[in-house]
Amino acid sequence: MIRGPAWSVRRSACVALSLVSAVGVAQAQPVKLPDETPTQRNGGVDIADLPPLPLASEGPSTSAALQAAADSDEEIVVGAAKREQTLGNVASAVTVISADRIRRFGYRTVAEAVAALAGIFISDDRLQQRMGIRGFQLLGDFNTRVLVLVDGASVNEGWGSLSGVGYDAPIALDEVARIEIIRGPVSSLYGTSAFFGIVNIVTRTAAELPRAWGRVGMGSIGGGTFGAGFARGTINQQVRGSVSGTLRAGETLNVPDIGQNISHDGASQLAATLVGAYQGTFGQIRAFRYRRESPFAPYDADPARGYTSYNTLLMSEGGHVRSLTDRLRVSGRGYFSAYRFNDSVPKVNEPSNFVTIGDTQSLGAEVRARYEIVANGKFGSTVGVESTFYRTRSRARYEPSAGRTSINIPVNFNIAAAYAELDGSPTSWLGFTAGVRGDRHSLLENRLSPRAALFLSKKDRFGAKLIYAEGFRNPSMFEGFFDDGEDYKANPNIRAETIRSSEVVLWARPVSGLSARISGYRWVTDRIVEQRDIAAGLDQFQNVGAYVSTGVEAEGTFRNSDGWFGFAGGSFAKVRSVDGLKVPNAPAVQASVGVSTPLIRKLAHVSTEVIVLGARPTQDPTITADLHTMWNASILVPSLGGFDISLTARNLLGVRQQVVAPQDYNRTIPLVRDISRVPGEGREVYLRVGFAFR
């Protein structure tokens, strides 16, 4: 079957992503974008925002192309196996968020975009937007159990394993072509941080971006946003870059257990990106700095003086991919990152601020080969080796010091790994994949991580997946070796967390434009690392948790040639410790529904979504965070004299979520008390205006 130009554009974009990820996909050929999109011609959705599908040889007519895209059988996922796969052959339960959905619903961060997905929830406690998956969002976790990738390069840093999905992510959503949410452990390919899942952020290529673009915005919670970028070239010869920033004044809050009229709620972010590719050679550089004030005075800070933290990251990656034969492709990449965390804690009844600094630099390389054992992709194998060296340093001191001792703890380590995967499709209805990775850690545990899956399908219309995977997460240097002499004591004997995942996935595309999935799963975790009190005001990270999550989740999406788009999802998760106790911050029920209209009067999309997050236990067994319902709405004018305009309202009901508070907010001065819940953000309205030079 001959595939038309629209399919080629999306296919080439996925190939370009694979190049940036250094996974050995064959080089793409330049394509010419049509001068006029179907959106411009009839007010429907843009083909570039819909999944690819073979088109008629005479090229895409307006209605035929849109209908074909709505019926797509080939949504592509890259992050689950470091290569292109269709959703039916991915060894995970995966959801793909398109750029079209991001724009229509007015999302500003990755966290906002994923919050309405089945089995995913966000806890924003004003320290960080923390991502939960299938009932797991352990108190105090800085997204260390989720691997966040940008075009295949890891965002997780080497000191605290932090990964940002909110305003602390090193990317502007204007750059994003798609976000892949991959549930379950993928340590068989990625190692330690791919514990509960992966967020793979795929950026737009120069063929998809305008030559130059800019955007500004402002919101009712104070402050604004800006972004600008450029792009030149084709798929395999391109350069593009962007810069973006955010400034938020925040809210003034009253929290009886902490203080009244607390105004230290500001945040700011600045990010910059430069990406290039030439034939099989690719590279990217990303940098950001994020400042966050927390009004809830963590680490016994004085609420009247405020707490401030900073995260600064520089990450770079470069490599080359080459096809040696029709069946053999090899690739290599090198990467470097430098990260610094520092915060300032004004202690109660203390004139000096207590300052913590965590530094890390990492340098690594990966070589990978993909061999098609049988032509036409019937059987293939992938092998790779990877090695990374880390240098970290933890420091803590009072400023001014007043003669007090400073803490300085250097820790260096390296990780070496090898992995292999075999996949095949012996018949049109049967497929499989099996792989394993071995990790050697110079300081902590060595681990072996297997994964296997069996795929059954009929004519790409419905099917089933049977999946088993094991994963691990070695503690970060912060968790194992940080000792500040004030709040934390080191635990060098800490061990790796483990997870075993068993899952059945049923999927179907029963009618044109409708895609549905239902999953039943069981996750068994052991030796979970959590923060524990070992003395008055002194904590230590220890292997204390063994938890089981058993549940079911379902989701569906619909789009048609008229431009309607909708989604719905829900999940039920029973999360318990091995002795049957409820786990803090684990909601049993989640649900969401959203709908977006076609262009009304050929001018604007109107979109709305409702997200329900069930009640959650807190660290106090007598206190529960109540069920919360969030209603959001957005109006998008995609083209008005060259400008695009969006007006979005979040939390229209105005009821604040009761966010389950981490132990970091507990108080020892002036009174010893636990802070179980803190208020989430109230209603917010924001306006954004952009302009693009095509």
Which pLDDT score is estimated for 59?
29
Q: Is the per-residue pLDDT at 238 higher than 70?
A: yes
According to DSSP, the residues that pair with 257 across neighbouring strands are none
pLDDT digits (tens, 9 = 90+) for 380-398: 999 999 999 999 999 999 9
Instruction: Count CB atoms within 10 A of the CB of residue 377.
Output: 12
Mean of the per-residue pLDDT values for the chain?
87
Residue-wise pLDDT for 621-668, tens only, equals: 999 999 999 999 999 999 998 899 999 999 999 999 999 999 899 888
For residue 105, give Cα distances in angstroms to 379, 568, 650.
41, 14, 10
* Mean pLDDT calculated for residue range 594-607: 96
Per-residue pLDDT at 515 exceeds 90: yes
d(CA 376, CA 508): 25
| Residue 80 vs residues 201, 420, 645: alpha-carbon distances, Å | 12, 14, 34
For the stretch 100-110, pLDDT in tens is 999 999 999 99
Q: Is 207 exposed, middle or buried (CB count within 10 Å of its CB: 0-12, 13-18, 19+)? A: buried
In whole angstroms, how large is the CA radius of gyration of the chain? Answer: 24
Q: What is the mean pLDDT of residues 45-59?
A: 33
| DSSP bridge partners of 556 | 516, 568
Please report the pLDDT score of residue 54 as a whole number.
Answer: 30
Confidence class for position 502, pLDDT limits 50, 70, 90: very high
63 confidence band (pLDDT: 50, 70, 90): very low
pLDDT at 75 over 80: no
pLDDT at 160: 94
**How many CB atoms within 10 Å of residue 483?**
16
How is the chain split into domains, by residue range?
5-693
The pLDDT of residue 631 is: 98
Residue whose C-alpha is closest to residue 160's, from 317, 444, 393, 497: 393
Does the pLDDT of residue 64 top 50, yes or no? no
pLDDT of 348 reads 86
Read off the pLDDT of each residue in 252-272 and give the average, rounded to a whole number: 89
**Is the per-residue pLDDT at 563 higher than 80?**
yes
Q: Which CATH architecture has domain 5-693?
A: Beta Barrel (2.40)
Residue 17 confidence (pLDDT) above 70: no
pLDDT digits (tens, 9 = 90+) for 160-210: 999 999 999 888 888 999 999 999 999 999 999 999 999 999 999 998 899
Percent of the chain with pLDDT over 90: 69
> Amino acid identity of 2?
I
Strand partners, 183: 93, 197
The one-letter code for the residue type at 138 is L
Q: What is the pLDDT of residue 14?
A: 42
Chain segment 429-442, per-residue pLDDT in tens: 999 999 999 999 99
Share of the chain above pLDDT 70, in %: 89
461-492 pLDDT, tens per residue?
A: 899 999 999 999 999 999 999 998 888 999 99
